[in-house]
């Protein structure tokens, strides 16, 4: 005779959710479009390194042969790059990846909240911009990724006015 005893722990500490290991955003040209589109796919990935520092990797992949590919990053005002923010490559074949990797440091006064530094939550965005010339016109595609924890929505109180319309009051 075999007896199996199982215990279920009902009381566990609720630690804050960890910062995702990496965040990813991707923008690709549509299969069909009635408007001219930049023939390049853009991808941006961020990885938290701690102490308000992130590793940012931007990747541009032309969907047709390009005479040049330019890749750059747009950072918020409270961030600074610890490496190159843009790169340019000459002729690039279809499907060839062009990668730009740099570290970004956020000003601690901006209080980017992560699991290791649960300061006042503030979200920021980093954008990768890929530019490709097409018939003497430079076309661009962007991908944007959020960094940090988004701020909580403000509390509101809703009132019904005499005419039946609803009004909201934002409370501190």
Q: What is the pLDDT of residues 71-86, one digit of tens each?
A: 999 998 888 999 999 9
- Token output for 42: 């853009």
Domains of the chain and any CATH numbers = 23-171 (2.60.40.10)
Between 5-14, 102-111, 154-163, the lowest mean confidence (pLDDT) is in 5-14
Count the alpha carbons within 13 Å of 114 in the hemisphere toward its beta carbon: 21
User: pTM of the prediction?
Assistant: 0.69
Q: Is the pLDDT of residue 96 over 80?
A: yes
Residue 15, pLDDT score:
45
């Amino acid at each position: 005779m075999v007896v199996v005893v199982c215990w279920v722990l009902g009381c566990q500490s609720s630690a804050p959710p960890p910062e995702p290991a990496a965040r990813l955003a991707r923008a690709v040209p549509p299969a069909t479009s009635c408007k001219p589109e930049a023939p390049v796919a853009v991808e941006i990935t961020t990885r938290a390194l701690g102490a308000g520092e992130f590793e940012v990797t931007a990747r541009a992949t032309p969907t047709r042969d390009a005479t040049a590919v330019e890749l750059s990053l747009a950072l918020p005002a409270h961030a600074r790059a610890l490496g190159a923010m843009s790169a340019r490559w000459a002729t690039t074949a279809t499907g060839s990846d062009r990668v730009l990797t740099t570290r970004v440091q956020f000003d601690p006064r901006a209080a980017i909240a992560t699991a290791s530094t649960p300061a006042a939550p503030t979200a920021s965005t980093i954008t990768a911009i890929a530019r490709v010339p097409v018939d003497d016109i430079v076309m661009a595609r962007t991908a944007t990724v959020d960094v940090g924890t988004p701020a909580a929505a403000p509390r509101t109180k809703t009132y019904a006015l005499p005419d039946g319309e609803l009004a909201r009051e934002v409370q501190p």
